[in-house]
Chain A
Amino acid sequence: MQTLDIKEQPINQVKATLSQNISGSEILLKGLIEEGVETIFGYPGGAIMPIYDALYDYTDKLKHILVRHEQGATHAAQGYARSSGKVGVVFATSGPGATNLITGIADAQIDSTPMVCITGQVFAHLLGTDAFQETDVINITTPITKWNYQVTDAAEIPEVLAKAFYIARTGRPGPVVIDITKNAQIQKVDFEGYIKCDHIRSYRPKPIIRTSYVEQAAALINAAKKPFILFGQGILLGNAEQEFKAFVEKSGIPAAWTILGAGAIPTTHPLNVGMLGMHGNNGPNVLTNECDVLIAIGMRFDDRVTGRLDKYAKQAKVIHLDIDPAEIDKNVKATVPVWGDCKETLPLLTQLVDEKKHDDWLAKFRALNQIEIDELITAELHPQTGELTMGEVIHQLNLLTNGDAIIVTDVGQHQMVACRYAKFNNTRSNITSGGLGTMGFALPAAIGAKFGAQDKTVVAVIGDGGFQMTIQELGTIMQSGINVKIIILNNQFLGMVRQWQELFNDRRYSFVDITSPDFVAVAKGYYIEGQKVSEREKLVDALKAMLNHKGSYLLEVMVTKENNVFPMVPQGCSVSEIRLK
């Protein structure tokens, strides 16, 4: 008995000293540190002031990057998450601060990016009174978050924060919003330490693997004459690049990528047969409708990938590997659904598949891609005369970076060109807004990507239209001193929309003619070096100057005004009806 008492006492004492009476704001910051957060992208305001006040004493542990618009904070957090594999964190105030996050949260939701957004909210007793800067953040963000929660009592903060991080990064990742009323930020409660979350009873991040389905999948693959792999971001999100490579190499099956899956295996890998979808390569699109077994891994059959669904791979048996059961049969009916984390399912499958080579089948992809090279790629990448093309800029960039840079793209023609022609040796090096197609994504995302991968060269490739959507983030670059390289591919048009108007609306160019400021002068105003080129002879030197420059650099490249991105699967057409011109 007595020994017990003696033993218990010091433990109680330790507990007493561990328990601190601190504010909700400080608990939040301590929790973030426990979650391994180092960088926060944010913008202060009235309803989040207590958290910012607490942050003042934590700047040695938490780096806060002041953006110029809250949308920029979300995209930066996305870029950070995508380059580092960690959870991106955002701070914003209530009302307009929170509503400015919407685009980025929606983008993170559709592209499965782990992100935790902390928004300040008015005092709990003012909720529902139309108080100054009150908006119903929870209800506004419900359709675009994986989970959200409003905290009105400081005592809830540790558990809610732990849940938020757990939910954001596990299973199919996604954005989480925690809305914290001002009173809860100020309120002092006893804090006994932070406990990370590893289980929520109503939440099953990973469906259990059914080996019988893995076996059925392997049997289909082993009997296949023309198997074809489609891979998406699931491989990156599951950190399953090695497992994927092993599967591809043993099975010898040609593999094509969605734009978010780019880089899961290197662009130059002999079994990588190119990009899928609307502006993807000829071989993978045409042969989707010829393969006998289609193996989709960590991808969701987006309409930009499938084209017309009722003419999509109808001849094929479909094996679908995905961690999210809601994706199975959503767009394309699976013959065998392999639910589970591909990091676990792929090795099981690799074990069961025969070691094979599909040389003749692979040759078909090569032959179709060769037609594409001859008919359009050569002219795009190696023009001898005329104005600069987007493709040759990306090609020259590849030669200088050797495929080791992180390429962040905005949305439009330049995005498709960059995704098509950029070389990716490494995973997590193509960062783009895939599902939402958010113009204005690239500049802030590049800032975040660099913070997430400081040893990498980060190049943002942006159109003249999209750049003007988040141009103010040049201020974030200026103030943080971060080193990102910006290439503006200026075609003096909202190019992608113009292309559609040319092809489908009889060249009725309705409001796609966009004028731009002197981008180099604007950059100079932010103390960012830059130059503009329009001649072929000067392009390589300009790219070198950009890459060799010690800090951030803006290179504006004037390109052909009315170039179109081809190939193209016109909307409403089947993937095999891909047009090369």
Chain B
Amino acid sequence: METNIAKQEFTITVYTENQVGLLNRIAIIFSRRKLNIDSLNTSPSEVDSIHRFNIVITETEDVIRKVARQLEKQVEVLKVYFNTNEDIIWQELALYKVPTDIIAEKVSVERLLRQYGARAVVIRSDYTVFETTGHREETDALVEVLREYGLIEFVRSARIAIIKASDGFHTKINEFENQQPGEQVFENEYLNNGQKVFTM
């Protein structure tokens, strides 16, 4: 009960057709409920022609479940999963631009890179760009350090996530392409699995 009420970070994975306007249709499901999207990424998926959205949002499971159903209801959405952080492997990419002279002069660059798992992408006489990949706390930590050394620009990508327990979408897509959905589709599966899984 407790977990249902408490807000936590969820990563929603949405498999969709590649269609103009779909991003808006998905985004308004959140904005209509005045839910703030922490991060949103769209990319190709393991299946040709199928797109995959990763949406990160901090909310109660109850709200997430309702939103997931509204998402899955959209004509061009094939499938929606939502997961807590324990269920997924995720990464975010960050880029940091710093003045080369300060960095070279004042910081032990080598140590910094090792400590934060960063690497230099570009080194010019006027600026240097570092890159890190990791969880938010990790990318954020480096920001704090570099701020002291005249951080010029910082940008972080949306989260991308892989679901630990997923077999991918290859078999599902065959089912979806068939006129008659096959045995594979477990209606109400979420109830059987103690409300852990969302599926239509």
Binding partners A and B: yes
B179 touches A199 (CB 8 A): yes
By a CB distance below 8 angstroms, the chain B residues around A202 are 16-17, 75-78, 176
Bound Cα distance A148, B19 (Å):
11
A138 touches B28 (CB 8 A): no
A210 at the interface (CB under 8 A from B): yes
A200 at the interface (CB under 8 A from B): yes
Give per-residue flags for B46-68: 1 if the beta carbon is below 8 A from chain A beta carbons, else 0: 00000000000000000001100
Q: Which residue of A lies closest to B176 (CB)?
A: A201
A3 at the interface (CB under 8 A from B): no
List CB contacts (< 8 Å) of B52-103 with chain A: 65-66, 69-70, 72-73, 75-78
The number of chain B residues touching the other chain, given as a range, is: 20 to 34
B28 touches A142 (CB 8 A): yes
List CB contacts (< 8 Å) of B19-45 with chain A: 20-21, 24-25, 28, 32
Given the known A-B contacts A142-B21, A204-B181, A204-B200, are A339 and B187 also in contact in the complex, defined by CB atoms under 8 Å? yes
Bound Cα distance A210, B181 (Å):
13
Q: Interface size of A by Cβ–Cβ distance < 8 Å? A: 30
Give the shortest distance, in Å, between A254 (CB) and chain B (any CB).
28
B187 touches A210 (CB 8 A): yes
A143 touches B32 (CB 8 A): yes
Q: Which residue of B lies closest to A139 (CB)?
A: B24
A521 at the interface (CB under 8 A from B): no
B188 at the interface (CB under 8 A from A): yes
Bound Cα distance A378, B185 (Å):
54
Given the known A-B contacts A142-B24, A326-B70, are A147 and B200 also in contact in the complex, defined by CB atoms under 8 Å? no
Given the known A-B contacts A142-B24, A325-B69, A330-B66, are A200 and B187 also in contact in the complex, defined by CB atoms under 8 Å? no
Give per-residue flags for A315-338: 1 if the beta carbon is below 8 A from chain B beta carbons, else 0: 000000000111011100000010
Given the known A-B contacts A146-B75, A202-B77, are A326 and B181 also in contact in the complex, defined by CB atoms under 8 Å? no
By a CB distance below 8 angstroms, the chain B residues around A209 are 187
Given the known A-B contacts A139-B21, A201-B78, are A329 and B66 also in contact in the complex, defined by CB atoms under 8 Å? yes
B191 at the interface (CB under 8 A from A): yes
Partner of B65, one of A138, A210, A213, A329: A329
Given the known A-B contacts A139-B24, A142-B28, are A337 and B188 also in contact in the complex, defined by CB atoms under 8 Å? yes
B177 at the interface (CB under 8 A from A): yes
By a CB distance below 8 angstroms, the chain B residues around A339 are 187-188
Partner of A203, one of B21, B65, B75, B173: B75
By a CB distance below 8 angstroms, the chain B residues around A213 are 188
A207 touches B16 (CB 8 A): no
Q: Which residue of B lies closest to A149 (CB)?
A: B21
By a CB distance below 8 angstroms, the chain A residues around B20 are 150
A326 touches B69 (CB 8 A): yes
A167 at the interface (CB under 8 A from B): yes
Give the shortest distance, in Å, between A334 (CB) and chain B (any CB).
9
Pick the most buried of B73, B77, B181, B187: most chain A CB atoms within 10 A of its CB.
B187
Bound Cα distance A138, B22 (Å):
11
A219 at the interface (CB under 8 A from B): no
Bound Cα distance A406, B73 (Å):
32
List CB contacts (< 8 Å) of B147-176 with chain A: 173, 176
The 3 closest A-B pairs by CB, nearest first: A326-B69, A201-B176, A202-B78
7 contacts between A and B (CB under 8 A): A200-B75, A204-B181, A207-B187, A324-B73, A325-B200, A326-B70, A326-B72
